[in-house]
Amino acid sequence: MAIEYQKGTSFLHKLDARTKLLIFVGATVISMIIIDPILMGILFLTLYFLGRQAIDTDLLNNNLKVLVVIFLTFSMFQVLWFTPDDSYFLFYLIPGKNWVPVTVQGIIRGIAVFFRFFSVVLAVHLMLYTTPPVELALTITERGQERKALANIGVTLALGGIFFLNALPIVSGSSVFLGIQNTALQYAVLAVGCLAVAFAVYKVLGRGLPAEMGVALMLGFATVGILSTQTQQITNAQKARGYDVQPKNIIARVKVLTALLIPIFLATLERSQDISIAILSRGFDYNISERTYRREFSFERNDYIVLGMMLFVIVGGLLMDYFGVSSPTEMFILNRLP
């Protein structure tokens, strides 16, 4: 099912397009940092609640339920193969041969993996469902607006803090860092280095992509639904001509696939030529470097609240990992077992 923009006035719809892009990035980072199933479950439920308020529930569920089997498969691999040396053994999946041990840690990590994958995918769905394609393109190509110096400093400090927390184990686990033995000086050098990297990353990412790439991305997002509809129309047309579009024979299926792909490919080429003519006739390729923008994005109070919460969760996850409590649920369960 194609993911198309759905108009609305929900909380997510009112957020800045950049905020929704950063929600996706933040959800991805959080999923890599946090391995606790309850915390990841809370993140998933929060995103799902926001999604229910923004778009039709049936539409959201239909797009997500097709992924349940895939993510359950990933979870099962984690359950079956995650067996650290100090794991709490439960039983063998094949008892006669003592093959495939199942552990408490494996089950907990498997549940966490399920919610981690689903949180990232759900964040992508919510971004695409609640953001017009043109705004998505402008978020990564916008160059016309002036950025305030205070905002630049804040973003650089936030990125530097995340890099610093992520690099802390390097200094803590070694008595000598870059030839420096003094602990305070080690942390100072690490902090300065993280700030320099954060400043460079922000400058590179802040420039944005060329306008041509932005338009290409915008057209790609906008035509996903058109391509899906066109594919269904061609499939129905071939059915009306007597084609069996799902034969059991593999060779016959390849032939049918050719009968479907060729008209889809030709229709796509024809549509792309029409779009390129329309763009060029409007003077898009004239003096692109000096172009201006019809509108400017601006963060509102809700955007700052959401971004602040995402930053808080990311920093909290890094601190939990640094202090050895990355999975409090696992620690709680293991402490209660005999």
Q: N- to C-terminal Cα distance for the chain?
A: 48
Task: Say which residue, 79 or 174, is predicted with more confidence.
Answer: 79
Residue 140's nearest CA partner among 282, 307, 280, 25 is: 25
Q: How far is CA 289 from the centre of its chain?
A: 30
Contacts of 3 (CB under 8 A, 6+ apart): 63, 125, 128, 129, 224, 225
The answer to whether 326 and 36 are in contact (CB under 8 A) is yes
The confidence score (pLDDT) of residue 18 equals 81
The confidence score (pLDDT) of residue 197 equals 80
Averaged over 284-292, what is the pLDDT?
A: 69
Averaged over 52-64, what is the pLDDT?
A: 84
Distance, in Å, from the CA atom of 159 to the CA atom of 163, rounded to the nearest integer, reads 6
Mean pLDDT of the chain: 78
301: which 2 tokens?
């109070």
Question: Residue 138: how many CB atoms within 10 A of its CB?
Answer: 24
pLDDT single digits (tens) 14-50: 888 888 888 888 898 888 888 888 989 999 999 999 8
Reported pTM? 0.72
